[in-house]
């Protein structure tokens, strides 16, 4: 099993030490660098080239959200998981709009955190449960900066079903089980959805579909 290299950013040293100690209990995860704020996190990422970056949402000098936006400009494919103590819809919506691949509360178990890191590293997007409802509530309160686009080519009924399950945070395998189909079929349907919506990942597909009234 290959080892995933992580950079951990949190302004509380005890939190960083605790997370590092927990993650080091997992053989395939290794913390290779730490940062106390977003600016330091960006330097560590450039220096160490980690597989996944774990960042607290709230940090001094530069927050996790600000660091995420900076990474998207200079390093758009970098895999990022944001961690927060507070279950805040506004922070979640802004993180999704900035292209985060994972968003977790700090009270998750070690098993949940480790699995989230593995999924994000493999290219998946980890959406919290009930994301569709939470995004729907938050979209009306946030400015929309999506570029103008014509309505996408019509989604099929099954693609809408798949998209709704994506919005619930389900993986391709979980969607396949729920719909009684093959995982490969779901992967193909997801690719079709992304193409029709003109987006590059599942997170943006959910946001784009909500803006266009597809969900």
Highest mean pLDDT among 149-153, 157-161, 163-167: 157-161
- Number of separate domains in the chain: 2
Q: What is the pLDDT of residue 149?
A: 39
**Together in a domain, 93 and 24:** yes
What is the span of the domain harbouring residue 73? 4-129
Which of 129, 155, 178 terminates a domain? The answer is 129
pLDDT above 60: residue 9: yes
Q: How far apart are the first and last CA of the chain?
A: 39
Give how far Cα 119 sits from Cα of 80, 138, 208, Å: 11, 26, 22
Q: Tell me the C-alpha distance between 124 and 103, whole Å.
A: 12
**Together in a domain, 141 and 120:** no
More confident residue, 60 or 210: 60
Domain CATH for 90: 3.40.50.2300
Which of 109, 129, 149 terminates a domain? The answer is 129
Pair 33, 7: CB distance under 8 Å: yes
pLDDT band at 32 (very low <50, low <70, confident <90, very high): very high
pLDDT band at 11 (very low <50, low <70, confident <90, very high): very high
**Together in a domain, 142 and 49:** no
Mean local confidence (pLDDT), 116-130 = 81
pLDDT above 50: residue 3: yes
**Together in a domain, 169 and 114:** no
- Summarised one tens digit per residue, pLDDT across range 163-199 is 888 877 788 899 999 999 999 999 999 999 988 888 8
Helical axes 157-167 vs 183-197, angle rounded to 10°: 90
**Together in a domain, 34 and 10:** yes
More confident residue, 17 or 166: 17
Domain CATH for 174: 1.10.10.10
Mean local confidence (pLDDT), 27-55 = 95
Q: Tell me the C-alpha distance between 132 and 202, whole Å.
A: 12
**Together in a domain, 63 and 91:** yes
**Together in a domain, 49 and 78:** yes
- Summarised one tens digit per residue, pLDDT across range 132-145 is 555 555 544 444 44
**Together in a domain, 114 and 144:** no
Which of 91, 109, 129 terminates a domain? The answer is 129
Q: What is the pLDDT of residue 142?
A: 41
**Together in a domain, 125 and 146:** no
**Together in a domain, 48 and 106:** yes
- Summarised one tens digit per residue, pLDDT across range 112-121 is 899 999 989 9
Q: What is the pLDDT of residue 147?
A: 43
- H or E segment at 210? helix 202-211
**Together in a domain, 154 and 106:** no
Q: What is the pLDDT of residue 30?
A: 94
**Together in a domain, 67 and 28:** yes
Of 208, 15, 202, the closest CA to residue 101 belongs to: 202
Give CA angle at 9 (5, 10), nearest 5°: 145
Highest mean pLDDT among 31-35, 75-79, 207-211: 31-35
């Amino acid at each position: 099993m290959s080892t995933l290299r992580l950079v951990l950013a949190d302004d509380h040293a005890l939190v960083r030490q605790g997370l590092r100690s927990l993650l080091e209990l997992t053989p395939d995860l290794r913390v290779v660098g730490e940062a106390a704020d977003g600016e330091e996190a960006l330097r560590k990422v450039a220096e160490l080239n980690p597989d996944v970056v774990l960042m607290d949402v709230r940090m001094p000098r530069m927050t996790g959200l600000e660091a995420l936006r900076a990474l998207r400009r200079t390093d758009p494919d970098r895999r990022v998981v944001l961690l927060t103590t507070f279950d805040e819809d506004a922070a979640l919506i802004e993180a999704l709009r900035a292209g985060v691949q994972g968003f977790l509360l700090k009270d998750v178990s070690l098993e949940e955190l480790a699995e989230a890191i593995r999924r994000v590293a493999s290219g998946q997007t980890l959406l919290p449960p009930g994301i569709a409802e939470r995004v729907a509530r938050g979209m009306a309160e946030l400015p929309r900066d999506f570029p103008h686009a014509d309505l996408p080519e019509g989604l099929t009924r099954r693609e809408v079903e798949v998209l709704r399950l994506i919005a619930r945070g389900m993986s391709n395998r979980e969607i396949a089980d729920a719909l009684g189909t093959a995982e490969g079929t779901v992967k193909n349907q997801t690719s079709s959805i992304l193409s029709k919506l003109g987006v590059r990942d599942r997170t943006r597909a959910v946001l784009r579909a909500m803006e266009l009234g597809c969900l």
